[in-house]
Amino acid sequence: MVVVGAGHAGCEAAMAAARMGLKTALYTLNVDLIAQMSCNPAIGGIAKGHLVREVDALGGIMGEITDAVGIQFRLLNTSRGPAVWSPRAQCDKQAYRLKMREVLESQPNLTIKQAEVADVIVEQLSALSSQLSVTPDTTENRELRTENCIRGVLLRDGRRVSAKVVIITTGTFLNGLIHCGEQQYPAGRSGEPAAVLLGEALKKLGLRGCRLKTGTPPRLDGRTIDWSRFERQPGDVDPTPFSFRTRRVAHHDSQVPCYIAFTTEETYRIIRENVHRSPMYSGQIQSTGPRYCPSIEDKIVKFPDKLTHQLFLEPEGLNTHEIYVNGMSTSLPIDVQLAILKSIPGLDGAEMMRPAYAI
């Protein structure tokens, strides 16, 4: 089996196949970025928390790794019934991918490969019909002659890799396109190339293609934030693990706090006056965005009577000053992003380390 892409889905697929005894190869563009948490360095949350628990119940590894590297754990919706309780963990972004790589490399039958998959190798089953013990006149044989069969993948460097099954988990990389204001350029995520060759190869197979849109907020230098202006949000006193196999999370007694912030009426004004520069509203992006993770401009447009919106300032890890501004996902131009930050007391002097974008 070949798995293409080493994000959350690819890692789980490769581990599941290898544990079933299949000889498995996991291909990624960069082995140093296996399980890179591209957007929010968190696992779980409403709906997603249930999903991670289900993955864990089926033998997946995401929950166990989260319990090992999570730096803040909170059980959401505890004021309501147990059916909607949702575990969420803020993770150390760097530690998560390092731990995931360690687990993958220790798994028998699993080999990690750094290469770009450019095409899938497909053959007509009619070429193999003579090898099958099927009578030439049977219906089964006539059907086999019209079907395609996966035989492996073709790498960009020209190598052919044989495989009976190919699983493609390329995420945003497949013909990925980044939007930041009026600017747009091909990328899998910021700073990394898109998988254009594979995207075009799948089109040639006759598979229907469409585009989905997601986005990410800016990252700030925590040393330039006035933390005294925000409400502190600690983790749960008794953290709930994600995995059924975890007795106690690693950072049980050393969780880090997050902070709650709010946009202002000035923020509202800035976004309203510049919403026409957002690719989602200028017509530059026409794809479907995530329903429960709207951009900040979406919130302003869809809820015009609400003058302020909640933001969460979340650390990206224990060994970095980088702060994730949860709730400020946007594709507005960088100058507008800077103006938004200056409109929020406590962030008015913050330095932006990475701008937000849509992909």
Going by C-alpha positions, the residue among 229, 226, 218, 227 that lies closest to residue 336 is 218
Q: What are the tens digits of pLDDT across the range 37-47? A: 988 899 999 88
Residues 164, 1 contacting (CB under 8 angstroms): yes
Q: Are 124 and 145 in contact (CB under 8 A)?
A: yes
Provide the CB-side half-sphere exposure for 283 (13 A, CA): 0
Cβ atoms of 272 and 297 closer than 8 Å: no
C-beta of residue 112 within 8 angstroms of C-beta of residue 191 = no
Edge to edge, the sheet with strand 2-4 lists 110-114, 24-28, 2-4, 166-168
The mean of the pLDDT values for the chain is: 92
Q: Among 65-79, 134-148, 259-273, 291-305, whose mean pLDDT is lowest?
A: 134-148
Residue 263 has pLDDT above 90, yes or no: yes
Report DSSP letters for 233-261, one per residue: E---SSPPPSSTT-SS-TTTT-PPPEEEE
| Tokens 């197979």 -> residue | 205
CA distance 167 to 1: 8
Residue 289: what are its φ and ψ, rounded to 5°? -95, 170
The pLDDT value recorded for residue 284 is 85
- Per residue in 171-213, pLDDT (tens digit) is 999 999 999 999 999 999 999 999 999 999 999 998 888 888 8
Banded model confidence at residue 14, pLDDT cuts 50, 70, 90: very high
DSSP conformation class of 289: P
For the segment 312-326, what is each residue's pLDDT rounded down to a tens digit? 999 999 999 999 999
Per-domain residue ranges of the chain: 215-358
CA distances from 92 to 222, 255, 321 (A): 15, 11, 12
Picking from 26, 99, 115, 31, the residue whose alpha carbon sits closest to that of residue 62 is 99
Global confidence as pTM: 0.90
pLDDT of residue 144: 46
> What's the pLDDT tens digit per position in 226-245?
999 999 999 999 999 999 99
| pLDDT greater at residue 117 or residue 132 | 117
Domain range 215-358, its CATH number among 3.30.390.50, 2.40.30.260, 3.40.50.1370, 3.30.1360.120: 2.40.30.260
For residue range 123-171, list pLDDT tens digits in order.
987 645 545 555 555 555 554 455 789 999 999 999 999 999 999 999 9
Residue 8, pLDDT above cutoff 60? yes
pLDDT at residue 96 is higher than 80? yes
What pLDDT sits at residue 136? 55
What does 117-168 look like in DSSP terms, one character per residue?
EEEEEEEEGGGGGGGS---TTSHHHHHHTT-EEEEEEEETTS-EEE-S-EEE
Q: Is the pLDDT of residue 341 over 50?
A: yes
Q: Are 319 and 240 in contact (CB under 8 A)?
A: no
Report which listed range, 72-81, 101-110, 206-215, is most confident: 101-110
